[in-house]
Structure 1
Amino acid sequence: MGAPVSQPERVIAGRYRLLAPLGEGGMGTVWRARDEVLGREVAVKEVRAPAGLPAADVERLYARLEREAWAAARIPHRNVVTVYDVASESGRPWIVMELVRGLSLSDVLEAEGALTPQRTARIGAEVLGALRAAHDAGVLHRDVKPGNVLIANDGRVVLTDFGIALVEGSSALTMTGEVVGSPEFLAPERALGHRPGPASDLWSLGVLLYAAVEGSTPFRQDTPLSTLRAVVDEELPPARAAGPLTSVIEGLLRKDPAERMSAADAERD
């Protein structure tokens, strides 16, 4: 048998040479790539619509993702992943971002188990800084979870994947019946189909903090539907390992968004 023929590296928009896949998700693949114009490595998110989606919905989905990538690009903050460009190739948007070298928080939790309240508080404060900057720019994240928090090799904490974010005040382009985000991190008001606001992202941060200190999320059940029901109806199981973070977690995980702890209070605590 001869040596396998290596595939030629694909170049997107005549500029971004795809080198190797970094990760795969429900909405596509993230690639390590080289920007041939500026001579630097970048991360490129290849967006793919779910199979079987009608053509009109696919078009709306791509339009929404492109608009939201540009929205994320207007958030200048050290804890928000920098979006450089949205390229178009094969009728789909490809989101070009800074390449963050490090691990996701979900990788860290998988490798090390639950974290100390002190380390969790440091990570949480940086994610909160990213959310406050996004909310000030009128952008909701809508999918805050450990897989979207990167811990860079230099210790910087970066919130990434604003791909399903919603720009406040823009026409909402949500797909019919689509649950956007991860059920166990979804705020009760979103599980009930109400319009999300900044407080919905703060709830997701509360679930993230809980998961980091306890090693599991508070409302996870066997199916997405039973998880959503628990989010809406079940009492919060006590966070036994949270120590000084207990009041912040409990404040962020109040079912009523009007009673939820504010970003400023959470940051102070």
Structure 2
Amino acid sequence: MPPETIGGRYEVQREIGRGGMGAVYLCHDRLLGREVAAKQLGGLPGESTPHLARALREARTSAALSHPNVVSIYDAVEEGRHVWLVMEYLPSRTLSQLTREEGPLTPARAAHVGAQIADGLAAAHDRGTVHRDVKPGNVLVGDGDLAKISDFGIARSVDDETLTQTGMVTGTPMYFSPQLARGLTATPADDVWALGATLYSAVEGEAPWPSQENSLALLVHIAEHAAPEPRQAGPLAPVIRRMMATPRTGPR
């Protein structure tokens, strides 16, 4: 159960989302009189005090990133074994919710959403920040298909490495690039690959790889196989192919 108030300032109203990295709550900011979203980190398997401290540092660093297609981080509050990230509240659905409820996007609509996310990622890359967990669940789509990328400062903040020492996958393996799947350090190119995989899922209505219960087996599959061929992407297909190309396979 969440507290009634976070940091003595943010009144918790209701849960509005939940994912692998924590729950998200709609809150009222008493000081500024506005609605915000607060995401709870901490208390997950494998996390420790140093991990949470790193999450707090990365969150505060990411708060300096301001872009119309990036969910803004307003504050980071540490309470007990939890870090609360206070963010811009955007009435929206995630891209995964959108495709689940409405079916695959048309190539034109997917391109419109993708271009906005690409702009946000480019701004982050210019500042030396790599998102490292681009996926449909981290793409928010609001009124008029305004799209924003969320979870900067959260993705894989518990560890620099792709896998923890216990073997837990800390990101989202389904949207890992082959390089990340091999355990290499994340670069902007990995965000580009993941955005391509996200657009693939948007137009195809399914993830790029077959789901597997064993995350390590999925990483091996991604590392050893060429990206799947989009079938319903129309004029967006060459863009997706190039984004999901690797040095080993090259553009097709």
2:131 to 133, 137, 141: 141
Partner of 1:29: 23
Match status 1:58 vs 2:48: yes
Residue identity matched to 1:195: T
Partner of 1:209: 199
Q: Is the 8 A contact 1:81 1:158 kept in 2?
A: yes
How much does 1:158 deviate? 0.8
Match status 1:129 vs 2:123: no
TM-superposition CA deviations, 1:138-190 (whole Å, max 9, x none): 111111111111011243211001243479xxx94774234232111001111
Residue identity matched to 1:108: L
Match status 1:185 vs 2:175: yes
Q: Is the 8 A contact 1:101 1:152 kept in 2?
A: yes
Q: Is the 8 A contact 1:150 1:158 kept in 2?
A: yes
Q: Is the 8 A contact 1:232 1:255 kept in 2?
A: no
Match status 1:11 vs 2:2: no
TM-superposition CA deviations, 1:120-149 (whole Å, max 9, x none): 100110110111011111111111111111
User: Aligned partners of 1:179 and 1:8: how far apart in 2?
Assistant: 26
Structure with greater Cα Rg: 1
Residue identity matched to 2:208: P
CA distance 1:11–1:143, change in 2 (3 Å): same
1:75 to 50, 65, 72: 65
Residue identity matched to 2:143: N
Question: TM-score scaled by structure 1?
Answer: 0.84
Q: How many residue pairs were aligned?
A: 248
CA distance 1:173–1:246, change in 2 (3 Å): closer
4+ residue runs over 6 A deviation: none
% same residue: 40
1:244 to 235, 238, 241: 235
Residue identity matched to 1:211: S
TM-superposition CA deviations, 1:44-100 (whole Å, max 9, x none): 11112323x3xxx51122112111211221111000001111112224221101111
Structure 2 SS opposite 1:139: coil
TM-superposition CA deviations, 1:227-255 (whole Å, max 9, x none): 22221112333211111111111111112
Partner of 1:105: 95
Residue identity matched to 1:114: P
How much does 1:27 deviate? 2.2
User: Aligned partners of 1:78 and 1:118: how far apart in 2?
Assistant: 21
2:79 to 82, 89, 96: 89
User: Aligned partners of 1:38 and 1:104: how far apart in 2?
Assistant: 26
User: Aligned partners of 2:114 and 2:126: how far apart in 1?
Assistant: 18
Partner of 1:255: 246
Long gaps (5+) in structure 1: 1-6, 262-269
CA distance 1:88–1:236, change in 2 (3 Å): closer
How much does 1:256 deviate? 2.5
User: Aligned partners of 1:166 and 1:260: how far apart in 2?
Assistant: 28
How much does 1:8 deviate? 10
User: Aligned partners of 1:35 and 1:187: how far apart in 2?
Assistant: 38
Residue identity matched to 2:26: R
Residue identity matched to 1:20: R
Long gaps (5+) in structure 2: none
